[in-house]
Amino acid sequence: MKEYTITIDGGTSKTKVCLWNGEGQIVNVQTRNVGARDCAIQGNTTVWKRAIHQMVLLQSFK
């Protein structure tokens, strides 16, 4: 079985999810224009959580 790691970089205005293989190489990257600033403006984290969830699901382990 292959090993993979998913990392999440949640910034102020953008969020990036990377899929890494067992050799430490990036296999896939997903980004969205949503971050901590959006949560502060809206007063909740729903939009950020939804974006992260969608990006993780899109990491299709190609």
Provide mean pLDDT across the span 36-40.
92
Greater model confidence, 32 or 58: 32
CATH code, domain carrying 36? 3.30.420.300
> What is the total count of domains within the chain?
1
Mean pLDDT, rounded, of the chain: 91
Residue 61 confidence (pLDDT): 54
Within its chain, how far is the Cα of 9 from the centroid? 6
Determine if the pTM surpasses 0.85: no
Q: Is the pLDDT of residue 49 over 90?
A: yes
Locus of tokens 């997903």: 30
Within its chain, how far is the Cα of 6 from the centroid? 8
Q: Mark out the alpha helices in the chain (DSSP H runs).
A: 36-42, 46-58
Question: Structural domain of residue 11, as residue ranges?
Answer: 4-58
Q: Is the pLDDT of residue 62 over 80?
A: no
Identify whether the C-beta of residue 45 lies closer than 8 Å to the C-beta of residue 36.
Answer: no
